[in-house]
Structure 1
Amino acid sequence: MMRFPRFQAAAVLALVACGSGSNDQQQPPPLPKTVARAPKPTPDTVTTASPKKVDGPAVVVADPDKVDGAALRARTRARLAADRSPVTVLTGGTAFELGRRLCEQVVPKRPAATPVLIKPNMSGFNWFRNPKTGDNGVTGRTTDPEFVRGIVRCVKARGHTKITVADGFTGKPSDWQRLIKVSGYGAMAAAEKVDLVALDDDGVFDVEGAKPGKPLAISGLEKTRVPTLLMPKGLADHLAHGLYISAPKIKTHRYSVFSLGIKSMQGTAMYSDASPAYQQKWRTHREIAKALQLVKAKDPGARALYVKSLEVFAERMVDILELEAPDVVLAEGAPAMTGDGFDKLYPNAEPVAIGGTNVITVDRVGAQYLGLWANAALAAELGGHATSPLLEVAAKRFGIDLANPKIVGDGAALFATPRPAYLIGMAEFEVGAPPAEAPGELLDPKTLPTELHASPVTDAPVIDGAIDDAWSKAPVLTFVTDWAGRGTKTTTRVRALWSATGLHLLFELDNITPFTDRTRPVDIERIDLYEENCVELFLALDPANRDRYVEIEVGPFGHFFDILVDRNAKPRADHSWSAGLRIGTTRDDARNAAVIEIAIESPDVLRALTASARLPIGVYRMEGKLRRQYLAAFPTRTPKPSFHVPSAFGTLVLDP
């Protein structure tokens, strides 16, 4: 075991006295006489410390700074074994609303002076990707920062002022800076005025201040499977006299089966086997490398070794659980992700949040939500394990019966029937199938719009993506239907104006998911734009000939495509035709919303613009990557998604 010299700083109080961090609302843990207010947040530095290299000792743990592992383990065992509180499941609303509501219902009351640590899953991703391709590599894999913002607002409302958001990370300090920018955590922490901390220490970025990433030795681990485990000081401080909230992402996981409260604790793991300690997290699952080599080689013994490695990993994670069990778990599933948790992501239909004060029962309910509890197909792949071995080992170690956990909250009805599962395992197996979007109800055609009215204007609107006063004259057509006429949760609003200079349309889009290749230029016509996010407009310029119409596609970043279609001609499409487009777009990433504003000024369109004209029109929207949506103002009602159905066009009415 590597030994490290001691930092010259005040010793940390050892964790003692079983129950000192009790989650009992009537007996809050003892607090220091004074608790300092949170310092000004500096999310541009790691652990709010020096941004440049400082020569000094390596990662340190010295005897006075040891954490009392035996006392912590005894306290955790007693608390979790006695905790039979229900698990709360909420559904509906935004990630922010779910985080706030779940916190209000589940987080136990503490004196306002109690420091609060919120640990989301910030580092559960492979690596960054080019965001211009529509996937930054982080979103969907990690806890939504808006969910954490909801928790922050909740505890602020209770009077807490010292609030820290923190997770472990194995990358360089510059990678942490990139992560908090790409993920949105940096902006969220700055706006909410809370500390944002990497629970890491490389001997460089944690030499000042409270040293939350300083690794502390833990006594009493000689007979565990993690004898060299260290604990970040920031976590130890909150386990001793604070409120520790775990906020994991609800997702399936290619190795651990699913990732929730127990698996999330891997983010804080440090080991003294080598330096820097924070880059030794891999040692928790070190046996997997050999197993995957055999899997790749198609070795007949690969699966057995893979399962054995997972069982050992589970034992180690439960050893960590005995030391670091959070006071409460608030898990974000807005949406929950199935697949492998990293590269192949398939979101569930409904936004949910799952929470409780017993991390084991929260994981049990989360497993059921993901369809990975008592799953026979999973057992066939994992040597008889019908759920994650992490959950099985935890329940056995703590003596907790997981047969029928009590579920409360407005999402409890989600468990009335068996839940579907989809897991892609590292050992080259799959359980279940990708979730399809829950089909909405077919809406009564009599209740759906059939016309889009365009108001006349003398002064055409400025095409800049802003909703200026001119648009107040235009009636709004709102649609939520897909091509089949089913209702969806995605809303599109369309307005139209016409003038002597052209036809003007404004699209307001909500529920946008990032799926646009921004590496492509916006000033060159974009073929196959329909394969990404875009709105589509089909307009027949002669009411007597619906089979001849213009097709215009525009994306939320200004990409475009336009052709003239004649279904009775060969070839059908005239790619030389130009709509004479002018385009303006704006986006609101915080609300997942965008505005697309266009002017169509081609001579043939201008000739068709006469007062009281009624022109056949189709208005459509393509949205999403993981779950593709084919949305239509005037549904085509074809067996498979298709927009080229002139008989289903609605009517553009040019009001006089």
Structure 2
Amino acid sequence: MKSTLPILGRRARRLALEITALAAQLALLAGCGDRRHPPGGPHSDGGATVASASASAAPSDPAPPAAPSATASSFAAASAHPAVPTADPGAPSDVVAGASPRYEAGPSVITSDSIDGAVLRKRHVERIKADSSPVTVLRGEGPLDLGRRLCEVVVPRRPAATPVLLKPNLCGFDSVKDPAKSGGDDGVTGRITQPEFVRGVVQCLKARGHTKITIAEGCGHSHKFWKDLVQRTGYEAMAAEEGAALVAMDDDGVYDVEGDRPGKPLAIRGIEATNVPTLLLPKVLAEHLDRGLFLSLPRMKMHRYSVISAGIKGMQGTVMLSDRAPAYKQKWRMHRELKQYLDTKSGSQEDRALYLSSLRAFSERMVDVLEISTPDAVLGDGAPAMGGDGFQVLRPTAEHVAVGGTNPVRVDRVIAEFLGVWNSPALARELGGHRTSPLIEAAAKRFGLDLGATAITGDGAELLKSPRPVHYKAMAPFRLDWEPGQTPLPGGPARGLDPAPSTREKVSQGQPGFEPGGAPAKPEVHALPLPPGETITLDGKADDAAWRRAGAARWDTDYAAASTGIETRARFLWSKEGLHVLFELSSAGLNTDTSRPVDKERRSLYEEDCVELFLTPEPAAPRRYFEVEIGPFGHFFDLAIDRDVRLEDTAWSSGATIATSRDAASRKAVIEARLTAPGIVKALAPGARLPMNLYRMEGKSPRRYLAWSPPRTKKPNFHVPEAFGWLVLDP
């Protein structure tokens, strides 16, 4: 017979278990470690201290880090990752999608400490002009899977000995923030390429046999800031785990004077007639352009100045200018005319012509940079993509996608369409006739490309067959906000001059909007009714047709709302038999004591990897709810909680039938369950909105406490019913 135990007693027993793990996480930006049973567990008020830092930035080039930090690198065996389809060595194409011709290295463009810019430009311009390969749009559930799949399709194949340079968007934000003081926003999440997306690309390359993989970005801040940034964002840990080098493409006087000096600026000969005559290239980039494979991995997002930030804009991270020393701090000179506009702007008064003039000058310079720093492929992280302004206003897309190809201009054109700003009359009204990002238009003109004829392929291509929503807040005083179904104004989507944001923005996939007053909006997920006669086979395979129809709640946030890159998906169905639940886990370490039986209730399951569902059957009594814990091998524990009387009823049973499956090689797990407790079945009614939260505990060190609707507590604490989201039962 189970006993009824006070909550406080349970906390005390768990306190010692979490202190060590939490201490290791104190330096992370949002306490990305322990989550549920903190220094006592998420059932108490333990947690990690949030560190904060800030940095100023040029108006259109957000303001983060600087010098590099190399990580240890011994490559994991390629066999540890799923096999990647390989092209026939004798086939005429070196890309799975047949996107580019066979690779043949040309003569070296590097001599001594300089680069032959004329030869490099000629090589790149000819390739871009000739490349009419399709742009691939993939739909998926998370950044890791999308990064790996997109790489398999669009990245050109090279001999395994070819060194590869990955350039993510790691510096695209204004400043690091303290989430406790900014409504849960750490200032970074949503702005940068997610480390798990990069991990997916790295794993794809390793499966092809590549052993020399470098992740590099150029920011323009101190060496200390760079090291802090890569730790906070998880890049340092990810690179070390995958055996990739991590460096900054900056001549900061610290990292660039040691070893092979990856940040050393090299002069470029033969570009005197361009708009960037003082441009320099970091040594590590020049070497990969000369004899390696260079891949751009931008975060797909709107940008307050350049309209979108993707492949072309992302090349600003490769820029160094010799106007003054140190060269890497001269990035702002790429858009120096913008300062004139900002100096004359006062309140709602502005010189729009000056704004447009600065934007066009910046566009031409960025196309010059693209001619020199042309990536072999662009792989855009849109899991999710971000509307807004790219810095302070973030509007995540409902769909998770990845967009990529070998022609960076065509890739940007498709990303612009996905974000709702391709061939846009509404945008043209504000930007002097520019119907998309001026960077894209300038590049198309320079290379003579008919972007309207761009072929689009992949399982996400259908998303572009109907009008896309647009949410854009520009640096100039205008804003575009339109969703399909709204009545557009003549000439395009509705627009206005900085209208107030929606009082409740749509929330999906665990990416919160904001309620009136700035509080984070609560996410919701819908449970579809299971049609009469249709059944779910509980086998851990999740291949029933009904699951494919059900929408997913997705999240990678921890209890403090910090992104971890560890994604979880949950789907729901309901019937008169009970509530059907499906959890799909990525980055699963499967930290479970498998010697314990699965047919008996497992106390202290929270100490190992598991998922948890907190469900309130009576919305009028939000402090009384059920808790169900399930591990990836089928272990379980359930209880009923009444916080008003501070009791946990461990005798309560959820009536769960459970089936699980695991793929250790790809670090995935599936948990299926049917909950048939009378208290749950009674609450299942068409149209019901039941308070609910979803959690997951993952890993040993660091220990992750993940939350679908983050309670945003100082310490991991799951028992915050005020933070629960909603389970909506569709009729």
TM over 0.5: yes
Matches within 5 A, 1:316-395: 316-395=365-444
In 2, distance between residues paired with 1:613 and 1:357?
55
In 1, distance between residues paired with 2:104 and 2:244?
23
Deviation at 1:416, TM superposition (A): 1.2
In 2, distance between residues paired with 1:294 and 1:578?
61
Could you tell me which residue of structure 2 aligns to residue 230 of structure 1?
280
In 2, distance between residues paired with 1:321 and 1:181?
29
84, 101, 104: which is aligned to 1:28?
104
Q: Does 2:504 correspond to 1:428?
A: no
AA at the equivalent of 1:363: D
Specify the SS of the correspondent of 1:443: strand
Matches within 5 A, 1:102-501: 102-131=150-179, 134-299=184-349, 301-433=350-482, 436=506, 443-444=528-529, 487-490=550-553
576, 600, 616: which is aligned to 1:537?
616
2:615 and 2:691 in contact (8 A); partners too: yes
Deviation at 1:107, TM superposition (A): 1.0
Specify the SS of the correspondent of 2:334: helix
1:136 and 1:182 in contact (8 A); partners too: no
State the Cα deviation string for residues 267-310 of structure 1 (Å, max 9, x = none).
Answer: 111111112111111111112122123333433x5222111111
> Bigger relative contact order, structure 1 or 2, given CA contacts below 8 A and separation 6+?
2
State the Cα deviation string for residues 347-388 of structure 1 (Å, max 9, x = none).
Answer: 111111111111111111111111111101101111111100
State the Cα deviation string for residues 83-103 of structure 1 (Å, max 9, x = none).
Answer: 111111111132111111111
In 2, distance between residues paired with 1:107 and 1:548?
54
Deviation at 1:432, TM superposition (A): 2.3
The structure-2 alpha-carbon separation of the partners of 1:181 and 1:563, relative to structure 1 and needing over 3 Å to count, comes to: same
Q: TM-score, normalised by structure 2?
A: 0.59
The structure-2 alpha-carbon separation of the partners of 1:617 and 1:386, relative to structure 1 and needing over 3 Å to count, comes to: same
Deviation at 1:153, TM superposition (A): 1.1
The structure-2 alpha-carbon separation of the partners of 1:69 and 1:492, relative to structure 1 and needing over 3 Å to count, comes to: closer
Could you tell me which residue of structure 1 aligns to residue 144 of structure 2?
96
Specify the SS of the correspondent of 2:729: coil
The structure-2 alpha-carbon separation of the partners of 1:554 and 1:286, relative to structure 1 and needing over 3 Å to count, comes to: farther
The structure-2 alpha-carbon separation of the partners of 1:172 and 1:550, relative to structure 1 and needing over 3 Å to count, comes to: closer
AA at the equivalent of 2:104: P
Specify the SS of the correspondent of 2:528: coil
The structure-2 alpha-carbon separation of the partners of 1:142 and 1:553, relative to structure 1 and needing over 3 Å to count, comes to: farther
Could you tell me which residue of structure 2 aligns to residue 84 of structure 1?
132
In 1, distance between residues paired with 2:680 and 2:120?
76
2:220 and 2:328 in contact (8 A); partners too: yes
Deviation at 1:446, TM superposition (A): 5.6
In 1, distance between residues paired with 2:280 and 2:552?
46
1:348 and 1:437 in contact (8 A); partners too: no
Specify the SS of the correspondent of 1:373: coil
1:63 and 1:217 in contact (8 A); partners too: no
Deviation at 1:408, TM superposition (A): 1.1
For structure 2, the residue ranges without an aligned partner over 5 or more in a row are 1-93, 484-504, 509-523, 535-545, 554-568, 573-580, 587-611, 630-639, 651-665, 672-676, 685-689, 694-707, 711-722
AA at the equivalent of 2:467: P
2:528 and 2:730 in contact (8 A); partners too: no
Specify the SS of the correspondent of 1:341: coil
The structure-2 alpha-carbon separation of the partners of 1:390 and 1:537, relative to structure 1 and needing over 3 Å to count, comes to: same
Could you tell me which residue of structure 1 aligns to residue 42 of structure 2?
none
The structure-2 alpha-carbon separation of the partners of 1:549 and 1:336, relative to structure 1 and needing over 3 Å to count, comes to: closer
Q: Percent identical across equivalent pairs?
A: 48
The structure-2 alpha-carbon separation of the partners of 1:615 and 1:410, relative to structure 1 and needing over 3 Å to count, comes to: closer
The structure-2 alpha-carbon separation of the partners of 1:31 and 1:398, relative to structure 1 and needing over 3 Å to count, comes to: closer
The structure-2 alpha-carbon separation of the partners of 1:399 and 1:630, relative to structure 1 and needing over 3 Å to count, comes to: same
Q: TM-score, normalised by structure 1?
A: 0.65
The structure-2 alpha-carbon separation of the partners of 1:303 and 1:292, relative to structure 1 and needing over 3 Å to count, comes to: same
In 1, distance between residues paired with 2:179 and 2:221?
19
1:262 and 1:363 in contact (8 A); partners too: yes
Specify the SS of the correspondent of 1:234: helix
In 1, distance between residues paired with 2:678 and 2:480?
58
In 1, distance between residues paired with 2:160 and 2:400?
31
Q: Does 2:719 correspond to 1:620?
A: no
Could you tell me which residue of structure 2 aligns to residue 498 of structure 1?
none
In 2, distance between residues paired with 1:223 and 1:416?
42
In 1, distance between residues paired with 2:291 and 2:164?
9
Deviation at 1:441, TM superposition (A): 8.2
Structure 1 runs of 4+ with >6 Å offset: 438-442, 507-512, 553-556, 590-593, 611-615
State the Cα deviation string for residues 4-56 of structure 1 (Å, max 9, x = none).
Answer: xxxxxxxxxxxxxxxxx999542321599xxxxxxxxxxxxxxxxxxxxxxxx
Could you tell me which residue of structure 2 aligns to residue 635 of structure 1?
729
In 1, distance between residues paired with 2:679 and 2:400?
44
1:164 and 1:195 in contact (8 A); partners too: yes
Deviation at 1:165, TM superposition (A): 0.6
Deviation at 1:143, TM superposition (A): 0.7
Deviation at 1:223, TM superposition (A): 1.6
Deviation at 1:184, TM superposition (A): 1.1
Specify the SS of the correspondent of 1:310: helix
Specify the SS of the correspondent of 1:488: coil
Number of residue pairs the alignment of both structures matches: 483
In 1, distance between residues paired with 2:329 and 2:203?
32
AA at the equivalent of 1:620: P
In 1, distance between residues paired with 2:138 and 2:582?
29
2:308 and 2:437 in contact (8 A); partners too: yes
Deviation at 1:212, TM superposition (A): 1.0
2:140 and 2:146 in contact (8 A); partners too: yes
Decide which structure has the larger Cα Rg and report it.
1
Specify the SS of the correspondent of 1:329: strand
State the Cα deviation string for residues 47-74 of structure 1 (Å, max 9, x = none).
Answer: xxxxxxxxxxxxxxx9941111111111
Specify the SS of the correspondent of 2:296: strand
In 1, distance between residues paired with 2:678 and 2:179?
45
2:168 and 2:298 in contact (8 A); partners too: yes
State the Cα deviation string for residues 422-452 of structure 1 (Å, max 9, x = none).
Answer: 1110112111237746899883376699xxx
The structure-2 alpha-carbon separation of the partners of 1:317 and 1:551, relative to structure 1 and needing over 3 Å to count, comes to: same
1:31 and 1:241 in contact (8 A); partners too: no
2:622 and 2:691 in contact (8 A); partners too: no
In 2, distance between residues paired with 1:577 and 1:201?
62
The structure-2 alpha-carbon separation of the partners of 1:446 and 1:109, relative to structure 1 and needing over 3 Å to count, comes to: closer
In 2, distance between residues paired with 1:548 and 1:631?
14
